[in-house]
Amino acid sequence: MELQGKTALITGSAKGLGKRTALELAGQGCNIVLNYVRSEDEALSLKAELEGLGVRATAIRADISSEEDVNRLAEQATAWSGGIDILINNAGPFIRERKRFADYERADIVRMLNGNLVGVMLLDYLLLPGMRRRRWGRIIHFGFGHAGEARAWPHRAAYATAKTGLVSFTKTLAVEEAESGITVNMICPGDIRGAYKEKSIDEVEGVTDEESPRGRPGTGEDVARVIAFLCAERSDFLTGNIIDVTGGFDPIKPSIKG
């Protein structure tokens, strides 16, 4: 199996895209460190499912928007595994309610920036030394469709700012760490919602999505397959990329009224 003996830490992995990614990598023989904040039951259930696939798994509670939690997550994950080879930064707070920047609560702005940018950078920082020593590593950041264009996204100011800042960081870190055998890329999913985040492509066969240029809903498998490819041993020449997995969908509404 492609990733036999490697260990991946996947933030926000009890449910949704993180869960689907965990299952995909485990299918490649990768041991998994799950991370959750409130979904303990789901995390423990997934842990058992992964172990049933023949890999080692554990689940650690930590909020990526908290520096203290990030420190503890990195320490516990490294102690359990002996070293994290693959870091999938999936977790990140998002406020679905649409509102202008001036109408946000101050605490929400700080949480968006810490959870989607600062916490991600700190976790990378804490795990990079081990990857450097082993001369091998894969880091995946999560953005949103068209994040690489840094366009205006009304009603999503704090979230979009954090993620587009992460675009620059992804490209910079990729260049800095290439000589150490570490690749750094960003996955930018389209508007994949609810149960579709954990579904396979086969499960949506025949399902129509009129908003999608592809004509069908996006799934967790669409995202997880790309991540697994980027984590492969021979994908070491692919780094610094911002990859849209959207089916052609553009989530950004550049203008507002009222």
Can you tell me whether residue 194 is helix, strand or coil?
helix
**Contact, 87 vs 123, CB < 8 A?**
yes
pLDDT digits (tens, 9 = 90+) for 15-35: 999 999 999 999 999 999 999
Q: Is the pLDDT of residue 256 over 80?
A: no
DSSP 147: G
Q: Is the pLDDT of residue 37 over 90?
A: yes
Report the pLDDT value the prediction gives residue 171, as an integer from 0 to 100.
98
C-alpha–C-alpha distance, residues 175 and 239, integer Å: 8
Of 68, 73, 101, whose CA–CA distance to 87 is shortest? 73
Phi-psi region of 82 (alpha: psi -120 to 50; beta: other; left: phi over 0): left
Buried b (16+ CB within 10 A) or exposed e, 58-97: bbbbbbbbbeebbeebbebbbebbebbbbbbbbbbbeeee
**Contact, 69 vs 42, CB < 8 A?**
no
Sign of CA dihedral 78, 79, 81, 82: positive
Can you tell me whether residue 9 is helix, strand or coil?
strand
More confident: 256 or 77? 77
Least confident of 59-63, 207-211, 253-257: 253-257
Q: Is the pLDDT of residue 44 over 70?
A: yes
Best mean pLDDT range from 76-85, 148-157, 206-215, 246-255: 76-85
**Domains of the chain as residue ranges with CATH:** 7-245 (3.40.50.720)
pLDDT digits (tens, 9 = 90+) for 128-146: 999 999 999 999 999 999 8
pLDDT digits (tens, 9 = 90+) for 64-110: 999 999 999 999 999 999 999 999 999 999 998 999 999 999 999 99
Q: Is the pLDDT of residue 258 over 60?
A: no
Report the pLDDT value the prediction gives residue 1, as an integer from 0 to 100.
81
AA identity, residue 236: D
**Contact, 144 vs 189, CB < 8 A?**
yes
C-alpha–C-alpha distance, residues 204 and 227, integer Å: 20
Tally of helices (H runs) and strands (E runs) in the chain: 7, 7
- pTM, full prediction: 0.95
C-alpha–C-alpha distance, residues 36 and 117, integer Å: 18
C-alpha–C-alpha distance, residues 240 and 77, integer Å: 25
